[in-house]
Chain A
Amino acid sequence: MSTVDIVVTGLGATTPLGGDVASTWEALLAGRSGVRRIDDDEHEWVDRHELPVKIAAPLAVAPTDVLPRVQARRLDRCEQVALVAAKEAWHHAGLGDPKENPQVDPLRLAVVIGTGIGGAVTLLSQDDLLETGGLRKVSPLTVPMLMPNGPAAWVGIEYGAQAGVHAPVSACASGAEALAWAARLLRAGEVDVVIAGGAEACITGITVAGFVQARTLSQRNDEPERASRPFDVDRDGFVLGEGAGVMILERAEHAAARGATVHGRLAGAGLSADAYHITGPEPEGVGQSRAIAAAVRNGGLEPTDVGHVNCHATSTVAGDVGETRAVRKALGDHVVLTAPKSALGHMVGAAGAVESIITLLSVKEGIIPATLNLENLDPGVELDVVAGEPRKVDLQAAVCDSFGFGGHNAAVAFTKV
């Protein structure tokens, strides 16, 4: 049970559905899909390598269209999206000009932004330059562009965060794990404000090929918008996406003192590990269940308080049903589920952060977006899944699940103000 009350005062995102939080949320409620064919000039490697997967969920708005040109050229794409989301969140939180008049002491401001892969695009393109042009063609910015702490570091520099800059790396759980570590920093009394979230931009030949060889991607190339179908009996894998999500998390007293608008509370967060298999989830969901239960418990909540779980559910055969078992074990039969990856694809290290934003908005607005493409519920799923239309529900609390290769489990619980 915590003594530090953590509130959410700012939100920022760039996703396959929109260049900011509002457009993403509106598209989700409208039931639009961000998945499309990618066998085009920009992704010429799809045809060149005859990849069996020709679909993905790329960003709706290119970060280079939003960031100043000189700033963008120094950043890998995953750093660009982190900065786009952080700028929206910082502005949304009303934290002021970071240089002239910041509304938080820089020594009490931290960043926790994770990524699953990091600067894959830079690593590949700079290796090509080394091979074709030799040493002098390699950019001096190569290392800061490819390092997985780059997104967090650039955001820290942009906003002058001097209490610490951290970058949890736990594959697809990175974004949610970042929120969990941010909560721990706040509860340890070390900081007043944390810029927290996740970023990913790794739609490249090698990542797609690697996921194909791991047998994890959907090959429903002829129906891109119907490819990501969590909990449906005909699901055949996830769709790779890209994006970033950032929350401004703040000590409640600090937010109140500066008159900030509060959008909800981060009540608790739970972390656990399966210690079972490097890619496959433990089939009974024991570790996942422990993370969910911990988020609820350390948030001072009872399982009956939680009306909704925003699932990790990626649309893989192995993962989706096991997660519902973990949810039932931790919370009971009353919770209502949804799976936003049906619309957003799987944004890897950004997923847990963007989906936490969606979870918070569901609690705040009292509406749960529908899971797309859920036509025939897998008989192994014994819980209620929102499908077809969004559902209006008055929620006291909701949990966002996020799990990653490596057996990383993260869950974050949000409540109303």
Chain B
Amino acid sequence: MNSKAYLITREIFYTLLTALIVFIIMEIVKPNIVQAYINMNLMLILWLVSGIILLVSSYRS
């Protein structure tokens, strides 16, 4: 994976991580405030996929 793609994926990974933490806190405070509009399961999957891509790229390099 070239370095630009790696860096973009890393940014997406950290943004999704922040988003998940913020959304989970929002859900604890006010249930369904996020889930009514955003599929958090999908977000979690995207975050995991981006994390796996980062790990595999690091391992290879």
Do they bind each other?
Answer: no
